[in-house]
């Protein structure tokens, strides 16, 4: 049971995979995370990035770079050590009334709020979130890539605001989504938060960097919840450079869209039905998906299963031609 939770709570549990399939060929191919396999090239860093505590001015420059990238005011931008840490902070500072999420979706919100003494109830339709004190929408959704139009989110916020409700929109996978659908540039003046993940789009999940684009009434509480030095010096330096590199992001978006189409064709050719996804992952279904997960493990390929949907697996994008060839050989075998 513990091993299954390691796979179904989030991706990246390679140590568990190795324990369950000790004879699998190395290197492992980790397709379970939805993280860009083509990481942003790491720049040379000044030694002070490692040896000194980050200065407040450096953090402010990082938040200004993020504000420019996401189209918001710098005073509304709060940097943290990964978007999950920001979810944890929100679960502690927001009122613990009725909390709803458009589901099925990423389980990290439910776990965070549960640890803070609250329960997240999943709603099947956006309109059902009107009656909650805190409403959560992952957009694009994880794991199926479902998107909610910005106009619908703005309407939801207006209805929530009349009851002093808070809207949280998690845009962890929005960097390569359609232009103009992010809620961030239309961030409302009160009781709204948009979360952005740096590590997924830039392929640097180990850096632990994320941003809350929050209405002014929530910024001070979020900063206090995170405490001093919320982001490391290396993360600040790399984040400032990467967020300003729009050329890299545009070229990477085109590459990932091509890779996602290639993965769709490969999976469909092997009898899988594509349910959805983003350019960083694809959700596919087949009746024997759980058995296929085990066979993939034996082949040294880690995908992402779901405890409540045993007919589905999520596949990330292979990182190089060797990974593509191994996956192709397995699926055609």
- Which of 244, 267, 293 represents a domain boundary (last residue)? 244
Supply the pLDDT for residue 7: 66
Say whether both 222 and 273 belong to one domain.
no
Say whether both 158 and 253 belong to one domain.
no
- Which of 221, 244, 267 represents a domain boundary (last residue)? 244
The CATH number linked to 118 is 3.40.640.10
| Number of separate domains in the chain | 2
Say whether both 308 and 189 belong to one domain.
no
Supply the pLDDT for residue 6: 59
Say whether both 102 and 224 belong to one domain.
yes
Say whether both 177 and 283 belong to one domain.
no
Say whether both 152 and 253 belong to one domain.
no
Supply the pLDDT for residue 1: 37
Say whether both 152 and 262 belong to one domain.
no
Say whether both 262 and 317 belong to one domain.
yes
Say whether both 235 and 320 belong to one domain.
no
Say whether both 133 and 269 belong to one domain.
no
The CATH number linked to 265 is 3.90.1150.10
Supply the pLDDT for residue 3: 58
pLDDT tens digits, the chain, 333 residues: what are they? 345 555 655 677 899 999 999 999 999 999 999 999 999 999 999 999 999 999 999 999 999 999 999 999 999 999 999 999 999 999 999 988 899 999 999 999 999 999 999 999 999 999 999 999 999 999 999 999 999 999 999 999 999 989 899 999 999 999 998 877 899 998 888 999 999 999 999 999 999 999 999 999 999 999 999 999 999 999 999 999 999 999 999 999 999 999 999 999 999 999 999 999 999 999 999 999 999 999 999 999 999 999 889 999 999 999 999 999 999 999 987
- Which of 244, 269, 303 represents a domain boundary (last residue)? 244
Say whether both 163 and 205 belong to one domain.
yes
Say whether both 14 and 55 belong to one domain.
no
320 contacts 291 by C-beta, under 8 angstroms: no
CA distance 170 to 212: 9
Domain of 149 in residue numbering reads as 48-244
């Amino acid at each position: 049971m513990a091993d299954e939770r390691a796979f179904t709570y989030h991706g990246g549990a390679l140590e568990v995979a190795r324990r369950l399939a000790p004879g699998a060929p190395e290197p492992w191919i980790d397709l379970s995370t939805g993280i860009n396999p083509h990481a942003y090239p790491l720049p040379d860093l000044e030694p002070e990035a490692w040896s000194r505590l980050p200065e407040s001015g450096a953090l402010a420059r990082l938040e200004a770079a993020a504000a420019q990238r996401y189209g918001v005011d710098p005073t509304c931008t709060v940097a943290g050590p990964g978007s999950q840490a920001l979810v944890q902070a929100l679960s502690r500072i927001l009122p613990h009334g009725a909390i709803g999420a458009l589901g099925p979706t990423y389980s990290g919100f439910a776990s965070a709020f549960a640890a803070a003494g609250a329960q997240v109830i999943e709603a099947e339709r956006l309109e059902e979130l009107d009656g909650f004190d805190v409403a959560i929408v992952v957009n694009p959704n994880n794991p199926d890539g479902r998107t909610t139009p910005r106009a619908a989110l703005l309407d939801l916020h207006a209805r929530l605001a009349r009851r002093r409700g808070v809207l949280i929109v998690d845009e962890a996978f929005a960097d390569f989504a359609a232009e103009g659908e992010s809620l961030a540039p239309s961030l409302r003046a009160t009781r709204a938060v948009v979360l952005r993940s740096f590590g997924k789009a830039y392929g640097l999940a180990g850096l632990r960097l994320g941003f809350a684009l929050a209405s002014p009434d929530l910024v001070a509480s979020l900063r206090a919840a995170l405490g001093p030095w919320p982001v490391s010096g290396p993360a600040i330096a790399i984040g400032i450079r990467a967020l300003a590199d729009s050329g890299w992001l545009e070229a990477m978006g085109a590459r990932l869209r091509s890779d996602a189409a290639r993965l769709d064709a490969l999976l469909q050719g092997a009898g899988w039905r594509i349910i959805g996804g983003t350019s960083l992952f694809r959700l596919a279904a087949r009746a024997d998906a759980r058995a296929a997960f085990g066979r993939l493990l034996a082949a040294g390929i880690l995908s992402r299963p779901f405890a409540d949907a045993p007919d589905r697996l999520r596949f990330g994008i292979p990182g190089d031609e060797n990974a593509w060839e191994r996956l192709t050989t397995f699926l055609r075998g």
